[in-house]
Structure 1
Amino acid sequence: MVTQSLAHIALIVRDYDEAIAWFTEKLGFTLVADQYQPEQDKRWVLVAPPGGGDNAATLLLARAATPEQEAFIGNQAGGRVFLFLRTDDFWRDYRDLTAKGVHFVRPPAEQPYGTVAVFADLYGNLWDLIGPAA
């Protein structure tokens, strides 16, 4: 039997420190790793949402290294929702994120799969906040 899971999802960022601050302060993510890699002059920066456990996927905050990569900052999915943040309590987290200044671009709506609202991260990438179905 094969066991596989997603380990990391790369998110192109303009600056490591501003991205770390936004994800930890606004979304409440944990900084899992921040290690300088001198041979490539970059940092290995991982953040993760709370409560994900040891096998949960993390975001790899990858600083754009070329003008071509810079062009994708904030538009990694061509304007579509790119990432999906699942929560056990939609309204708690929606109120908390709103209070912290997270910009929601679509209001909460009930869907067959749960309550969902769309927010933009610090660069404009779109995320779904998804809570359990009623």
Structure 2
Amino acid sequence: MTAYATMPNFGSNSNLTKEDSSKYSESSESNAISEKTESGYTITRARFKQPRRRTFETAFTNLRESEKLELQDFEEEVGGIITPFYWRNPQSLELILVQFMEPLKFSYSGTGVSRRWNVSGIKLREV
């Protein structure tokens, strides 16, 4: 059995998080396969025995420089979008095995000596 890493959430304990709840969303992936025919019809069928996977979008705001570096190191550790990892859902506190759907994007929001970072559009797919 493989031991997967857990994504940092920067809370004071494992149930608290610095994720911005206003940027949280959850949806389900389609498990259908569609194909267009020459006559213009679309044939659709379900993927064989594959349940619909959940997808999540979240964000961190106002991260300190050290937290930004920790998140970048974590992304590097899991190989970007390659290796699954555990992520704690900030709404249900459920620990879910997920993968990044795209690389993280950091934006600087600090002023002067206050070095703060935002990470928006963190897209995750349930494995």
Taking structure 2 as the reference length, the TM-score comes to 0.31
Relative contact order higher in (CA < 8 Å, ≥ 6 apart): 2
Structure with larger Rg: 2
Taking structure 1 as the reference length, the TM-score comes to 0.30
